[in-house]
Structure 1
Amino acid sequence: MSELPAGLVEFLESAGWGGAAIDPIPGDASFRRYFRVRHGARQAMLMHAPPPHEDPAPFLLVAQWLTNNGMRAPEIYAQNPREGWVLTEDFGNDRMRDWLDDNPDAEVSAYAGAIDALVALHRLDPGPFSPYDLAAYQREAALLTEWYCPAVGLSVDEEGYRAAWDEVLSPMLARQQPGVTVLRDYHAENIMLLGDPREGAPQGLIDFQDALVGHAAYDLVSLLQDARRDVAPELERAMLDRYIAACAPGPEFEADYARLGAQRNAKIVGIFTRLYKRDGKPRYLELIPRVWALMERDLAHPALAPVARWFDANIPDELRASGGGTIA
């Protein structure tokens, strides 16, 4: 028990789970830690999101909003936000990514279910969350020049980079009004399968605490241009068509999908570099070539021409051809 965070046992006791068995779960790229707790026939998930690095209040807000609006977020059993503790429903072990490794024939059904969940989410009025505005897009895109470029020894035109993104993203902003709830990290590792998707079983949502109000294409990009799992272009196309048939989002939707694809993938290259350089987590480096290839594909869309020209002028061909090159 010595490796458990201080206050864990006391919180479980106050929640009526005293004496529960506690099993740590491998962590993600944040300061959050997770534990599976078992007490007799009951089972739950315990999240520790300790201040000052983490704040569970946004998770609790989004979870309640999702549940109130018919989406499948985990039920909250107990909470102590000041100390960073949240006890929730346990969705089990079947993350969509891992489950598909064992059931590849169910890929279309699983992704169709994930698309249908987004359709349901986007038919709701947006939640009471902050806007995904141009300043937020720019902060994220800048992670590439702040972290990746120095890591590969490049001195680049940062003002030109920002100006190129302004030119690319500004035409899109009016199309994300009034907007939809954007979960922001909606992909196969953050979707829990609560049964076989071939039989129409529901899918549970996790890791949504950073939700904003923004463009409907963003979570589609997150799902279909997945940093951690290959999604065949044919499947991406079929799922985009499924969403478009359900929501009829307008003629500029696919251009905006490319805009947000390039923006998100540039952000992820920066984040994965930061996880290595600042946080000592080298395992994320092996994911960068996949993300880079997706970004290059997005940059080929005419809507990305200003950003593509910046890449042509600032990122050497040999780095681009090697999926971002070697990060020292």
Structure 2
Amino acid sequence: MDGFELEPPGSGVFPIPGRQACTRMDVVQTRTAGNSPFNPKATEFGKIVTEFLNRDPMEQPMRDSFLLQLREQLVQVFNTDQFHLIPLRGGASSRRYVLIELTHAGYFPNNQVVLMWVPPEERELIDQYMHIGFYLQRHGIPIPRIYEINRQQGWAFLEYVEVPTLDIYLHQAPEQLEAVVCRALEFLMEMQKRCRPEPANPAFQRFFDREKYLFEFQFHVRQKLLHEFFKISLTEREADAFTRLSETISESLHCTKPFFVHRDFQSSNLFYCPDVTLGFKVIDFQDARAGLPLYDVVSLLWDSYLPIPKTLREKLLSRYRDFFQAHFFSISEADWQQQVDYLVIQRKLHDAGAFARNYLRWQNTRYLQYIAPALAMAAEVMASYPQFAPIQVLFSQLSQAERINPC
């Protein structure tokens, strides 16, 4: 689950030199959780939900129908109707999160529990979440406790963590940025030390290899971001440069060594828990796979939700390189810098494509504000590589739009 929602961008004109301008507009409906029969308690948490967490890509009638059906099913499970359901806003995925407030404790250790619902076509995620979650627990990595799994219903009952995610905490306490991000990097390094290969675990049965990277370039970036979202058909020169970019980076980052990669190690997926072992609880790990350890470092230091100053990035990268060479393998300065650069380009272009896909699937405007910054980070790094120039120019132009909104 993610943090605070900034105001969605408004309407605007999006000019691309040499192309027809695209007028883009979004419609935002403000909904109030307090008007829903599923949130009768005016708790402080309920107020936070109303203000920050209650904009959901589902339309209101669809969401209420979902909650009504869920409530009927849970009454049979709990053998009581003495509970409240509060919809939580999750991340850029099809999963739904609901806070269950039980009037009387008993079924679970606490009277507040989070239900993660996975749609039928993605039910294998339940198995992956469970197996990788237990793997992390076995290796001493703190996660929200998994209370119960119901694969048939697509339910995972999880511990409700009453502390903010890292992005929310640092938006409230920006003076703590350096200290807390340093601690997050230390958490990541400890996780990489502890998470040794287990061949039977799903995370070590799939890889960040050439085919995976090529798929993400083609599907998320070219198809979803450029073709379907921006309605752009690449020129022959741009298409050649895009092919060169995707093939060069995919080949360079190809990895089949069993290094554990969280896959989405960013501020919105870390609960900041200073009083627990290692200082954080990590979530959204069901897509973990084997790959380059630097991938998670780039995800943390080039975060779409939490800007990290360049000087702090360089300081933490230097610290991580010392750790990397001591625990993984030696790498030259030139190869290290290229690997960092290629991972930034790949990761941020993928992020932009994922944000665009989220809108295309769910008409969810929440993530549109992050497309331009993600493209800007990728284009800035890409500028150091002349062979990518034609497509770099396009991404740079796209990133400079004041507003990015759906047509």
- Taking structure 1 as the reference length, the TM-score comes to 0.86
Counterpart CA distance in 1 for 2:285 and 2:165 is 15
Distance (whole Å) between structure 1 residues aligned to residue 244 and residue 155 of structure 2: 42
Distance 1:10-1:275 versus aligned 2 partners, 3 A rule = closer
Name the structure 2 match of 1:125. Answer: 196
How far has the Cα of 1:64 moved from its partner?
Answer: 0.9
Deviation per CA, 1:83-135, whole angstroms, max 9, x where unpaired?
A: 11111122224111111112222212211121112112222323532111111
Mapped partners of 1:88, 1:317: distance in 2? 41
Partner of 1:186: 265
Q: For 1:1-328, list aligned pairs within 5 A.
A: 1=38, 3=65, 4=67, 6-8=69-71, 10-11=73-74, 14=77, 19-39=82-102, 40=104, 42=110, 43-54=112-123, 55-123=125-193, 124-127=195-198, 128=201, 129=203, 130-142=206-218, 143-150=220-227, 151-156=229-234, 157=236, 158=239, 161-173=242-254, 176-195=255-274, 202-248=279-325, 250-251=331-332, 252-302=335-385, 305-306=386-387, 308-312=388-392, 315=394, 318-319=397-398, 321-322=400-401, 328=407
Distance 1:59 1:17, change over 3 A: farther
Output the CA distance in 2 between the equivalents of 1:228 and 1:144.
19
Q: 1:7 to 1:273 in 2, by over 3 A?
A: closer
Q: Distance in 1 between matches of 2:121 and 2:94?
A: 10
What CA RMSD, in Å, does the superposition of the two structures yield over aligned residues?
2.8
- Bigger Rg, which one: 2
What is the distance in 2 between the residues matched to 1:16 and 1:140? 45
Residue 30 (structure 1) shift: 1.6
Contact 1:126 1:179 survives alignment (8 Å):
yes
Equivalent residue letter for 1:126: P
In structure 1, runs of 5+ residues without a counterpart are none
CA distance in 2, matches of 1:204, 1:9: 32
Contact 2:253 2:339 in 1 (8 A): yes
Q: Distance in 1 between the 2:357 and 2:155 partners?
A: 27
Q: Using a 3 Å threshold, how does the CA distance of structure 1 residues 216 and 104 change in structure 2: closer, same or farther?
A: same
In 2, the alpha carbon distance for the partners of 1:316 and 1:245 equals: 33
The code of the aligned residue for 2:230 comes to V
Gap change, CA 1:106 and 1:153, over 3 Å in 2: same
Q: Is the 8 A contact 1:48 1:85 kept in 2?
A: yes
Q: Distance in 2 between matches of 1:275 and 1:264?
A: 16
Q: Which residue identity does 1:164 align to in structure 2?
A: L
CA contact (8 A) 2:304 2:374 kept: yes
Identity %: 22
| Residues 8-56 of structure 1: CA deviation (Å, up to 9, x unaligned) | 5544764789734432212322221112233446132221112124532
Deviations 1:267-318 (A, max 9, x none): 122222222334212232221121111101221344xx54x234157x2864
Residue pair 1:255, 1:301 contacting (<8 A) in 2 also: no
Paired residue secondary structure (2:362): coil
Are the equivalent residues in 2 in contact too, given 1:164–1:310 (CA < 8 A)?
no
> What letter matches 1:154 in structure 2?
I
Deviation at 1:78, TM superposition (A): 0.8
Given the superposition, is the C-alpha separation of residues 153 and 47 from structure 1 closer, same or farther in structure 2, using an over 3 Å criterion? closer
Query: CA offset at residue 217 of structure 1?
Result: 1.2
CA contact (8 A) 1:183 1:208 kept: yes
Inter-CA distance 201–104: structure 2 relative to 1 (3 Å threshold):
farther
Shift of 1:238: 1.9
Q: Which amino acid aligns with 2:116?
A: M
Q: 2 CA distance for matches of 1:254 and 1:113? A: 23
Partner of 2:52: none
Q: CA deviation at 1:187?
A: 0.8
Aligned length: 320
Distance in 2 of aligned mates of 1:325 and 1:310: 21
TM, length-normalised to structure 2: 0.71
Farther-moved stretch of structure 1 (44-53 vs 3-12): 3-12
